[in-house]
Amino acid sequence: MRKIDIFDTTLRDGEQSAGINLNTAEKIEIARQLERFGVTIIESGFPAASPGDFDAVQRIAGTVKNSIVTGLARSVESDIATAWEALKGSEQPHVHIFLATSPIHMEHKLMKTPEQVVETAVASVKYAKQFFPLVQWSAEDASRSEPEFLARIIREVIKAGATTINLPDTVGYATPQEYGALFRYITENVVGIENVKLSAHCHNDLGMATANTLAAIENGATQIEGTINGIGERAGNVALEEIAVALHIRKQVYSVETDIHLKEIKRTSQLVSQLTGSIIQPNKAVVGKNAFAHESGIHQDGMLKNPLTYEIITPELIGDAKTELVLGKHSGRHAFKDRALKMGFELSEEKLKKAFVEFKKLADRKKVIVEEDLLVLLTDQQIND
Ligand code: KIV
Ligand code: ZN
């Protein structure tokens, strides 16, 4: 099985979410949990961005031993030198340098010609290689770049010493077909690409980050980047828990493995949500409150007969509590009887029928039926018999 490295950027791209600001202690706590979760690389911050970020990166670099720790740097010597100061204490010093390669970014943001962009990229990688054995180079806005230009600049930065090439879908614009084709094109047109890691980095502006990341894996990516709960700039980054579970559940399709410990998913997700203050939407795939909740009678009946009818992921797989059969107005008699039995009420068929009628009336009035509601209702039936 092909190995896929998991690059976590919760503490860098994730922290770039509007309204999120983590202090050093919080970042260290998350980094430790990411290490337990089994990520290959932790992007712990952007050392040149602020003294606080520098401090957090330096402390994480000195604390984490089982994951590689990296920091972001623009393609300027001062950023790279600052990153080195922050990261030189880590086990395997790694830096992540980026430079935009799309026509719109080169002309309107960098105000450089493509020739100047190649020169800057090569110079920054050569400079970084004086310090760092591991240098990741990212072509910002790769998905809107000219593939021929991208192939050319990648060849040059590999010659300069880059050990990982990242092709971000910076603005979440690519479709899975396009993003997959970009990876195929680069693997087929860059000599030496097989000697470096090839990374995918997807944003979720059109809700396609998970599909795009999986398309990159199918087309040669050996590393994928994302965040816990999918936090990040604008609509966020790809949610790592979704990728980890998809690769596990659909092993026959992707034929790859990672070092992720799936049982740590729930704990990691909750810690990130709690410390960032970023609430997880109830229907969020894998970690949402409703991800394992079944309300409709037909689904509940199927679940009680065989959970495989409606559950492709078990909560236990991700370290979560048991599946919940939520009782509401769509629920059926089977789930109602099951719950009554679990609560210790062995009612006759007649009583159960009456109790179920009362339950349906209540469910029409009340949005959420709690255990106490059922207790009152079932006790009433028991006594009134
Ligand atoms: O989305 C992006 O392009 C980035 C780069 C810094 C890699 O986050
Ligand atoms: Zn990004």
- Amino acid (1-letter code) at residue 21: N
Nearest to 330 by CA among 372, 367, 287, 290: 367
Q: pTM to 2 decimals?
A: 0.94
Best of 201, 213, 231 to mutate for ligand 1, by most ligand atoms within 8 A of CB? 201
Cα 114 to ligand 2 centre (Å): 22
Beta carbons of 189 and 130 less than 8 angstroms apart: no
- Amino acid (1-letter code) at residue 192: G
Cα angle 98-102-104, degrees, rounded to a multiple of 5? 120
Mean pLDDT of 231-259: 97
Give the nearest ligand 1 atom to 237 CA: 1
**Rounded to an integer, what distance in angstroms lies between the CA atom of residue 336 and that of residue 354?**
12
Cα 9 to ligand 2 centre (Å): 8
pLDDT, tens digit, 9 for 90 and up, residues 187-208: 999 999 999 999 999 999 999 9
* Residue positions forming the annotated binding site for Mn(2+): 13, 201, 203, 237
- 102 band by pLDDT with thresholds 50, 70 and 90: very high
Cα 223 to ligand 2 centre (Å): 14
Cα 17 to ligand 1 centre (Å): 13
Asked if the ipTM is above 0.95, the reply is yes
Cα angle 60-66-67, degrees, rounded to a multiple of 5? 65
Cα 255 to ligand 2 centre (Å): 26
- Residue minimizing CA distance to atom 6 of ligand 1: 98
- Amino acid (1-letter code) at residue 93: P
Element (H, E) at 223: strand 223-226
Best of 7, 13, 203 to mutate for ligand 1, by most ligand atoms within 8 A of CB? 13
Mean pLDDT of 58-80: 98
- 383 band by pLDDT with thresholds 50, 70 and 90: confident
Given a cut of 70, whether residue 385 has pLDDT beyond it is: no
**Rounded to an integer, what distance in angstroms lies between the CA atom of residue 356 and that of residue 40?**
52
Cα 168 to ligand 2 centre (Å): 7
- Residue minimizing CA distance to atom 8 of ligand 1: 13
* Residue positions forming the annotated binding site: 13, 201, 203, 237
Given a cut of 60, whether residue 14 has pLDDT beyond it is: yes
Q: Where are the alpha helices (DSSP H) in 38-146?
A: 51-63, 77-87, 103-105, 114-129
- Residue minimizing CA distance to atom 2 of ligand 1: 170
**Rounded to an integer, what distance in angstroms lies between the CA atom of residue 354 and that of residue 333?**
11
- The set of protein residues with a Cβ atom below 6 angstroms from ligand 1 is 13, 72, 98, 138, 140, 166, 168, 170, 201, 203
pLDDT, tens digit, 9 for 90 and up, residues 110-144: 999 999 999 999 999 999 999 999 999 999 999 99
Q: What is the rounded average pLDDT for all residues in the chain? A: 96
- Residue 322 has a pLDDT of 80
- Residue 324 has a pLDDT of 83
Give the nearest ligand 1 atom to 12 CA: 8
Residues with CB under 5 A from ligand 2 (ion): 13
Best of 7, 43, 138, 233 to mutate for ligand 1, by most ligand atoms within 8 A of CB? 138
- Residue 128 has a pLDDT of 98
